[in-house]
Chain A
Amino acid sequence: MEPIIDTSRFPATNAIGDFIRAILPGPVAELANIVLAVLAILTVVGLTPVALIWMERKVAAHFQARLGPMRVGYHGLLQPLADGIKLIFKEVMKPEGADTFVFFLAPILSATASFMVLTVIPFDHHLQVTDPAGGVLYVIAVAGLGIMGVLLAGWSSNNKYSLLGAMRSGAQMISYEISLALLMLLIVLLSGTASLREIVFSQTGTVLDWWIFKFPFFGIIAFVLFLISSTAELNRAPFDMAEAESELTGGFTTEYSGITFAMFFLAEFVNMFMAASLTTTFFLGGFLAPQFGLASLDRMLDAIPGFLWFFLKSYSVIFIYMWFRWTFPRPRVDQLMNLEWKVLVPANFLLLLIAGLFVVMGWA
């Protein structure tokens, strides 16, 4: 089942890394490469919210028959910058009776967790900070850290609304973690590897070899379940119980202002990008160009660099998340838990069983 990787077409190292290795001695070169990679990830983390804030506002606006930001820059392109500057210069306030250390630790935890997952995402065959053999396990473990930020924020705010929001999201995110993990396991089972890079390569071939189609019919179900679970895991509308503004005013972010609020905001958008890139990696062939079995068309599509395909696919998934948000009302928190424990978890176990059957019989 080990996917065979064509290393001549998809080398694991890139030109910048090779250049550093050529001019510096071994251990120093590795260190320099790690620093460069982390800087690159930080850039992605910094720019993703900027792009997503603009995209969210524009998508929302056009769903709602209006234009959205139009004043700051061409079609409001600089609006996220203006928003960011406003948030940075706002006064940071702490409610009386709040636990100072935990109160300020929480947003940092949230932002850090989302940043850490990006280190194992294969943006392209040579653009990945590190590729641990148990990459999927790492993703599951680190994504859980984000919950800590939300829980601590609600707990330390000394506000009943924040506490309610945090308790809701704690229950919600821990529950949906399970179905998300089960779906990741499904792909691990099918592809026979837990390394994200190799999972992508297990989908080499035409579009029909992506896991969404390669696992016939059930792949699409798994994809939809993954979308639902990750929306809930992201605390995004329609599953944004933690910050349901019509019930809990701001939920766990009620007491946060200025840059501390911006950290949660940033974490939310990076998380969304992270979830979309995981969806892309697991189901949509990651950085692989879509191939349709038509030689001339395939060659043209293949000429486009992999990371562009990766971002295109991820942003399409993000568009689906936004579509959800601006269409659906929000279910109640107990209904959401019912959905998870009575529908999604059994469905995921069933999918795992079917996938096991497929693997044993050698159908997939």
Chain B
Amino acid sequence: MTEQQAGLAGDIMENGVAMTVPPGFSIDRREGHTDEYFLNMGPQHPSTHGVLRLMLRMDGENVLEVVPHLGYIHRGLEKIGENQTYLQNIHLTDRLDYLSSHINNLALCLAIEKAMGIGVPERAEYIRVMVCELQRIQSHLLWWGVLGMDLGAITSFLYGFKERELITDIFEEMCGARLTMNFFRPGGSFADVPDTFIPRVRAVVERMKSAIDEYDTLLTNNVIMHLRTKGIGVLAAETALAHGCSGPVLRGSGVAFDVRRSDPYSIYDRFSFDIPVGTVGDCFDRYKVRMEEMRQSLRIIEEAAASFPGGPYRSKKYATYNLPAGSYYSQVETARGLLGVYIEADGGPKPYRIKYRSPSFANLSALNDLAAGHKLADLVPIIATLDVLIPDIDR
């Protein structure tokens, strides 16, 4: 047995039977843990949202320790990226966090633009902001529906999808795809938005305003919902910061950090929007933050649609984008938090090394702090309000 294996797995005695402790647990072997057992949750489990695998150390219904296991959807996107041109890499970013495709595209485009000094026309900036905010709403709608379904209210899933479908339709008309959308290019987007874009966006904004109130009636104000989420999975602000959490998870703990505000990219500094923050840091705070974020995104979209300018949708196109040697970094606020793109360029058309800093990975690392000590049933809203996306973690 190699040293690594010995460190990962060890045997404990349970009722005289040797029991293998799965790797990753901080279990004390000297004490008798006769009432405890290990439960494997996932990768095929309805509420681990994809292929997240959790090993749980349990005592009856109580969760004592959670160890996430990753890698079930690892595709090596960063390694593949080294053999693709920068333009081709944009297409790979769709597959990071497939619910924030446009925002991921934007992150890479920003890095390329920064490296090559490419300007972006006014109209393209407006398109970017509107599309990104629509994407955020679309992502939060799926999250809202799935949260309801995880809590047993299956109807909310279909209600969420009803409005989500309208946004997906806009994206489909715009770029041809309904999932893993791809639209942005360095200097703008690959095409102009269709004429129907603004009217359709306006219609969605109008519809969404009443729809969010409807969601509040269905789920937010439900007493069982409060029972299940209030005081559950409390994440202290210091812990959240220590784990590098970002996005609604961090804001739910009361830290008003939003890349759109603290490091404004594109033209976010021109729009007025609030950054909702929670007070306690429990599941309900994270829930409220996301619900409010949808309203704030609607505000941004409405403001942008009102002053949507004409003009070109893209600055000068290049056949190849050869980034000058050096390292470049850009960061954006996806629906899940801070997505950073780090490029080490060697002057050629392909990156020497490309690294994505994904929000879900950092957010998931806080899982044990949130879930330990709660019931098995509480694990479900905790995972749901962390809103981790496994392809974003594994990459």
Q: Is the CB of B158 within 8 A of A66?
A: yes
Whether B148 sits at the interface, judged by CB under 8 Å, is: yes
Query: Separation in Å of the A258 CB from the closest CB of chain B?
Result: 20
| Contact assessment for A238 and B162 in the assembled complex, using a CB-CB cutoff below 8 Å | no
Size of the A side of the interface (Cβ < 8 Å), in residues, is 29
18 contacts between A and B (CB under 8 A): A160-B39, A241-B377, A244-B152, A246-B47, A246-B149, A247-B380, A249-B45, A326-B154, A326-B155, A327-B153, A328-B222, A329-B224, A329-B225, A330-B152, A330-B224, A330-B228, A333-B61, A333-B375
Chain A residues with CB under 8 Å of B72's CB are none
Nearest B-chain residue to A335, judged by Cβ = B227
Q: 1/0 per residue B344-378: CB within 8 Å of A?
A: 00000000000000000000000000000001111
Interface residues of A in 299-328 (CB under 8 A from B): 326-328
- In this complex, how many residues of chain B approach chain A with their Cβ under 8 Å: the count is 30
Specify the main secondary structure of chain B where it touches its partner.
helix
- Distance to closest chain B CB from A295 (angstroms): 44
Q: Known A-B contacts: A329-B148, A331-B227. Give 8 more (CB < 8 A).
A: A246-B151, A247-B380, A248-B376, A249-B46, A327-B153, A328-B222, A330-B153, A332-B377
Tell me the total A-B contact number using a CB cutoff of 8 A: 78
Q: Would you call B377 and A333 a contact (CB within 8 A)?
A: yes
Does any Cβ of A come within 8 Å of B37's Cβ?
yes
Contact of A327 with B155 at beta-carbon distance under 8 Å, contacts A246-B380, A249-B45 already known: yes
Contact partners of A64 in chain B: CB under 8 A: 154-155, 158-159
Is A63 an interface residue when CB atoms closer than 8 A count as contact?
A: yes
| Residues 134-170 (chain B) with a chain A CB within 8 angstroms | 148-155, 158-159, 162
| Contact string against A for B residues 12-52, beta-carbon threshold 8 Å, 1 for contact and 0 otherwise | 00000000000000000000000001010000011100000
Q: Is the CB of B224 within 8 A of A328?
A: yes
Q: How far is the CA of A184 from the CA of B217 in the complex (A)?
A: 34
Q: From residue 264 to 315 of chain A, which have CB atoms closer than 8 A to chain B?
A: none
Q: Answer whether A332 and B227 are a contact pair too, CB < 8 Å, given A247-B377, A247-B380.
A: yes
- The answer, among B152, B155, B219, B375, for a CB contact under 8 Å with A246, is B152
Is B37 touching A329 in the complex (CB atoms < 8 A)? no
**C-beta contact mask, B158-184 vs A, less than 8 Å → 1, else 0?**
110010000000000000000000000
Chain B residue contacts of A246, Cβ below 8 A:
46-47, 149-152, 380
Contact of A328 among B149, B152, B375 (CB under 8 A): B152
What's the Cα separation between A230 and B227 when bound, in Å?
21
